[in-house]
Structure 1
Amino acid sequence: MKRVKLVSFLMAMMLVLAACGSNDGTTSGGSGDAGKTYTVGVDTTYPPFEFEEGGEYKGIDIDVINAIAEEEGFKIELKPMDFGGIIPAILADQLDVAIAGMSITDERKAKVDFSDPYFDAGLTLVVSENNSDITSMDDLKGKVVAVKNGTTGAQYAEKIKEEAGIKEVRQFNDSPSMFQEVANGNADVLIEDYPVIAYAIKTSKLDLKTVGDRLNGDQYGIAVKKGTNQDLLSKINSGLQKIRDNGKYDEILKTYLGE
């Protein structure tokens, strides 16, 4: 009888020890996240941040999230989708993370938690390469400003037209026509999203250059579900700081923006 009790006791202890020692590496915090795979939502129609080339996903966002994952020891699975569906997918637990040139706004912050900003976007002034007369907003008086119809650049130009003394805001239906108008000297300056025009200048060899400071202060952030994924958010912020410190972040920007 005593032997049976001893055997039962030993078997129970073995079960307890096995339960205590089991760890599949998927728990959050510490080193338990090492090797875990997170699903990352991206919009691959937004160069230079995300695009598909030769069957591969490339861009600033793709390289940044891969570099962060490498620093923090986790893996990612990219899930391309329309931009408008990304936050709903996070809320439905279909995505763990989103990086998609997403501006940090109060409206979005009500639904998701953002990382530290990883890119200062916003509008910028663009002039021909040989133009030295325009270096800031103060130089727009009496000038012709080219914009693309329906864009934030067009809205901004109309908003400041009277205050800045702009002679004319000239609307175009496509970017190449707008670029050419300034390159040929038919318009003095254009207003465009900074990363978009910087990438276009680098890849298309346009005879244009950006000048002055950003005209507004949009910042991009990496998103996770609000209030439920703080450990992952901490890892993202940690990895982001590491790639800033070790120079990898600057290398990524130089690859796509030439700076």
Structure 2
Amino acid sequence: MKAKILAAVAAGVMSVTAFSAALAKDLNVGTHPVFAPFEYMDTKTNQYKGFDIDMIREIAKRNGYKVKFHNMGFDGLIPALLTGSIDIAVAGMTITEARKQKVDFCDPYYQAGQSLMVRAESKNVYKDAKSLEGRTIAVQIGTTGADFAKTIKGANIKAFNTSADAFLDLKMKGSDAVITDRPVIGYFVVSNPRAAKGLVQQPIVLDDEWFGFPVKKGNTKLLNEVNAALKAMKEDGTYAKLHKKWFGN
């Protein structure tokens, strides 16, 4: 009899779990998975991975959503939010005044900043923005690194779809430096030592930036849910755990 009761209870729990899963609403998440360690595609498992990916999955779970990822170009994320094709974007996106005119950002969740990658033989030549005046700079299209490069006097800017392509161009001497987010350069050096051989990250931080997840302007319900989850994750240690997983500190 006891075994039958336990079996019935277990079946009931499974039914409730299945019912809850069936009721879970889709959270359509736009991402450009070429920005490790924030978001990238694991070529072995064909699964989305990264700090942002883990963050949005946890946020969705806490709010009863089922994540549905949409792979798209970085410069297509905000237009997709405006048309309602996606609900939120996770792509290491810097909060800027220009972007805030179009979308609403959640509370800042990561402090970043633009930095320089140069060839080893040029490390004493290209040390800061001033030294890059009139030089060729590789950037990832649509990023704040690309925006920063445009402010450098006389710079010839080469835009690529991914930061990895920009690093390759630098290595092949097609450009003099790459400007992109500091943690992206650091992760590339650590995770791709062969590709990064002969390249050096300069210690300078060109500006101070914060990343945020954007939603369609006026979507206060989702914005409040995301902010509440972020706050709770920081308070209960989940954020620190994920940060250590991807950045080691």
TM score, norm. by length of structure 2: 0.64
Within the candidate set 220, 236, 240, 1:250 is matched to 240
- 1:233–1:150: structure 2 CA closer, same or farther, 3 Å change rule? closer
1:56 to 25, 47, 61: 47
- Aligned with residue 183 of structure 2, among 191, 195, 219: 195
Distance verdict in 2 for CA 1:158–1:92, change over 3 Å = closer
Aligned mates of 1:248, 1:147 — CA distance in 2: 41
For structure 1, list consecutive stretches of 5 or more residues without a partner in the other structure.
1-33, 129-135, 161-170, 182-186
The gaps in structure 2 that reach 5 residues or longer are 1-22, 120-126, 159-164
Change (3 A) 1:201 1:82: same
TM-score, normalised via structure 1 length? 0.62
- Amino acid corresponding to residue 71 of structure 1 in structure 2: R
RMSD over aligned Cα, in angstroms? Answer: 4.2
* Counterparts of 1:248 and 1:103, CA distance in 2: 22
Per the TM alignment, residue 245 of structure 1 is displaced from its structure 2 partner at its CA by 2.0
Change (3 A) 1:213 1:119: farther
Give the Cα separation in 1 of the matches to 2:89 and 2:147: 28
SS of corresponding position for 1:149: strand
1:98 aligned to 73, 86, 89, which one? 89
Q: Is the 8 A contact 1:125 1:190 kept in 2?
A: yes
Maintained 8 Å contact 1:198/1:257: no
**Cα offset, 1:210, TM superposition:** 6.4
Confirm or deny: 8 A CA contact 1:157 1:191 kept in the other structure: no
Q: How does 1:4-43 map to 2 (within 5 A)?
A: 35-43=24-32
2:69 paired residue among 78, 86, 90: 78
Percent pairwise identity: 34
Aligned residue for 1:103, secondary structure, equals coil
Aligned ranges 1:130-209 → 2 under 5 Å = 148-150=137-139, 152=145, 159=152, 174-175=166-167, 192-205=180-193
